[in-house]
Amino acid sequence: MTARPLDQVLAHVDQSLDQSLDRLFALLRIASVSTDSAYAKDCAAAADWLVADLRTMGFEAAARDTGGHPAVVAKSAGGAGPHALFYGHYDVQPVDPLDQWETPPFEPRIATAPDGTKRIVARGASDDKGQVMTFVEACRSWKAVTGSLPVGITMLIEGEEESGSAHLFDFVKANRADLAADVALVCDTGMWDAGTPAITTSLRGIVVEEFKVVAANRDLHSGVYGGAAANPIHVLSRIVASLHGPDGRIAIPGFYEGVEDLPADILEDWKGLNLTAQDFLGPIGLSQPIGEKGRLLIEMVSSRPTCDVNGMWGGYTGEGGKTVIASEAWAKLTCRLVSKQDPVKVRDAFRAHVRAQLPADCKVEFFGSRGSAAISLPWDMPVLARARAALTDEWGRKAVTIGSGGSIPIVGAFKADLGLDSLLVGFALEDDRVHSPNEKYDLKSFHKGIRSWVRILDALAD
């Protein structure tokens, strides 16, 4: 096999970094806020900018109608390796509160931190324009040096991720043939720390529930009926208290069906990361993990399921007192799912558990349930091993495989509708202030992110 000129491509990345930054800054200047209709033209402008830029590299690119903000679809042939579908998004969060920005959010700049770290500061610098452009610039360097790509690539860059990807799911279903690939590559995640690259191999799924407990047919005078009439707030409180046992496990019968333990070698890797309560909980003013006893903290937040009440209310909550027994009480709840948990089965088990706690004269009503399954990469997936080795080579530190406590529903759609496993590689850091004023992206993350994708594309072609 003829050796590919990896070193020359990496050298091109280094030599053209200033030009790469110029292009990123041009994209960052476009105020593509997807949630606000006042910025619809800006979202279209961002899509058009990407299309024009990708065409200069020989991609067949177009801004495609989705029913909402356009999605950019671009294609380029490549070597004989697997065809990859790359996903990212060009839309950004609103900038509020504007008065907390040190400089205008759509006027990107390079700032130097007290420790000398250089940072790109702008809305979208980290989430997700900077990340998207690491991949685009890696492709550019391959094209500039060799005239082609190591593997065939289709890019799907959407404009509604920050507003729930409302139109993307139907778009993916309607364009299965056009988006066909062997593996999906996603750049919307982060590093383990500033020097340790990471591949996210699992995303927790979710079940969202809202319910109310109802007793009497009206609010009651607590002096007249107290001690005799059922109090829905008391009932709701007991239901919520019954969701967890003293060992931290979720006490809903059948809840853990489909939950699998980590492979032993992965668990050892996670132990080596030494995530402590002091490091993780200390900055938010807490000290003690409350999850399942016998589990690592990193397991609690990455690979174990959760059940959390997000809100409870009922009765009088205004100023002063009002001596009533409320007729109803409400709660909102989310369960984060892992492994092979079935969202429908989890929902049904939760509802059965709630009904089993109801005393006489009380009933429950459920509203607005929705959910999505967890996503996991096969641990022995060859693409995963190649990408991990490529990242290790670039960063000089073993790349870790981690689970994410969050959810990226479109990754589930890639699996369900396209049959694709998704390799999630990102270069964001925890202190990037994503969704907050003064969002930043370390210049090192941008530079070495480009180099990392160069290496990953090379490794995929083997």
Write out pLDDT tens, residues 171-189: 999 999 999 999 999 999 9
What contacts 372, CB < 8 A, 6 or more positions away?
A: 205, 206, 343, 407, 409, 412
Nearest to 363 by CA among 333, 335, 327: 327
What is the pLDDT averaged over residues 324-334? 97
Query: Alpha-carbon distance 19 to 23, whole Å?
Result: 6
Residue 444: pLDDT band (50, 70, 90) is: very high
pLDDT at 4 over 70: no
Architecture (CATH level 2) of domain 205-265+304-372: 2-Layer Sandwich (3.30)
Nearest to 210 by CA among 372, 369, 373, 371: 369
Q: What is the pLDDT of residue 376?
A: 83
What contacts 116, CB < 8 A, 6 or more positions away?
A: none
pLDDT at 1 over 90: no
pLDDT at 412 over 90: no
Q: Are 87 and 185 in contact (CB under 8 A)?
A: yes
- Residue that the structure tokens 């709840």 belong to: 333
Q: Which residue has the higher pLDDT, 430 or 6?
A: 6
Q: What is the pLDDT of residue 370?
A: 85
Q: What is the pLDDT of residue 203?
A: 87
Residue 373: pLDDT band (50, 70, 90) is: confident
pLDDT at 388 over 70: yes
363-372 and 71-76 beta bridge pairing: unpaired
Q: What is the pLDDT of residue 3?
A: 54
Q: Are 206 and 278 in contact (CB under 8 A)?
A: no
Q: Are 300 and 291 in contact (CB under 8 A)?
A: yes
Q: Are 90 and 135 in contact (CB under 8 A)?
A: no
What is the pLDDT averaged over residues 221-230? 96
As assigned by CATH, the class of the 6-203+374-460 domain is: alpha beta
Q: Which residue has the higher pLDDT, 106 or 411?
A: 106
Kindly report whether the peptide bond that precedes residue 97 is cis, defined as omega within 30 degrees of 0.
Answer: yes
Q: What is the pLDDT of residue 446?
A: 98
Q: Write the pLDDT tens digit of every residue in 138-181.
A: 999 999 999 999 999 999 999 999 988 989 999 999 999 999 99
Between the alpha carbon of residue 184 and those of residues 152, 156, 355, the distances in Å are 12, 10, 42
Task: Count CB atoms within 10 A of the CB of residue 176.
Answer: 11
Whether pTM exceeds 0.75: yes
Output the six-digit token pair for 200: 């996210």
Q: What is the pLDDT of residue 408?
A: 77
Q: Write the pLDDT tens digit of every residue in 424-438.
A: 999 999 899 999 999
183-186 and 84-89 beta bridge pairing: parallel
- The burial of 225, by beta-carbon neighbours within 10 Å (0-12 exposed, 13-18 middle, 19 or more buried), is given as middle
Residue 2: pLDDT band (50, 70, 90) is: low
Q: Write the pLDDT tens digit of every residue in 58-74.
A: 999 999 999 999 999 99
Nearest to 185 by CA among 175, 170, 200: 200
Query: Mean pLDDT, the chain, as a whole number?
Result: 95
Residue 80: pLDDT band (50, 70, 90) is: confident
- Residue that the structure tokens 């007991």 belong to: 238
Q: Give CA torsion, residues 232, 233, 236, 238, to 10 deg.
A: -110
Domain positions in the chain are 6-203+374-460, 205-265+304-372
